């Protein structure tokens, strides 16, 4: 699961890029992608939610949130576990059938249970990635402005 975002409107940064000066933009993209990654991981902490969370057992989902440099001006922040989207968006009620054989089998309270199908009630959404992007979007212009100022004020 990954999202793409595009930042527009900073004329000062655009002017620097047109002059071939990319350092402020590169640092801004790195800072913004790191913010998204760190916020998503922070949002996966159980203390963020008032109800019991389904992913705390192993921490695999939290560890799977990574950012990868694609080029100097592009990073990809993604959730490496397939079930991340189910945590983010929740699931609707659905019926589970056996993949092979005629019965589903599971253990509950030390007792083996069997059924031909199970009506799953669905799961609640625990948004962790979209709020991280929203926070980064809200802070993007200030991050860009800070990196431009740091670059312009830096002695040669």
The tokens 């963020």 sit on which residue? 48
What six digits make up the tokens of 126? 């625990």
Please determine, for residue 7, whether its predicted confidence score (pLDDT) is greater than 80: no
* Mean pLDDT score of the chain: 87
CB distance 19 to 92 below 8 Å? no
Pairing of strands 74-79, 111-115: unpaired
Please determine, for residue 92, whether its predicted confidence score (pLDDT) is greater than 70: yes
Q: What is the mean pLDDT of residues 74-90?
A: 92
Q: What is the mean pLDDT of residues 16-42?
A: 90
Which pLDDT score is estimated for 20? Answer: 84
Q: Which is nearest to 132 in space by CA: 30, 42, 8, 18? A: 42
Q: What is the domain partition of the chain in residue ranges? A: 11-90+125-153, 91-122
pTM of this prediction?
Answer: 0.81
Please determine, for residue 74, whether its predicted confidence score (pLDDT) is greater than 90: no
CA 100/CA 114 separation, integer angstroms: 14
pLDDT tens-place string over residues 112-147: 999 999 999 998 898 999 999 999 989 988 998 898
For a pLDDT cut of 70, what percent of the chain falls above it? 87
Which pLDDT score is estimated for 31? Answer: 94
Please determine, for residue 49, whether its predicted confidence score (pLDDT) is greater than 70: no
């Amino acid at each position: 699961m990954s999202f793409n975002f595009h930042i527009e409107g900073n004329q000062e940064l655009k002017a620097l890029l047109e002059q071939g000066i990319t350092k402020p933009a590169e640092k801004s993209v790195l800072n913004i992608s790191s913010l998204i990654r760190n916020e998503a991981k922070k949002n996966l902490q159980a203390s963020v939610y008032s109800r019991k969370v389904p992913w705390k057992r192993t921490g695999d989902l939290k560890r799977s949130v990574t950012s990868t440099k694609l080029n100097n001006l592009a990073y990809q922040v993604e959730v490496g576990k397939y079930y991340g989207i189910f945590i983010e968006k929740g699931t609707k009620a659905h019926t589970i059938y056996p993949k092979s054989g005629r019965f589903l089998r599971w253990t509950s309270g030390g007792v083996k249970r069997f059924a031909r199908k199970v009506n799953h009630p669905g799961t609640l959404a625990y948004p962790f990635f979209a709020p991280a992007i929203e926070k980064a979007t809200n802070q993007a212009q200030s991050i860009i402005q800070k990196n431009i100022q740091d670059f312009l004020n830096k002695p040669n």
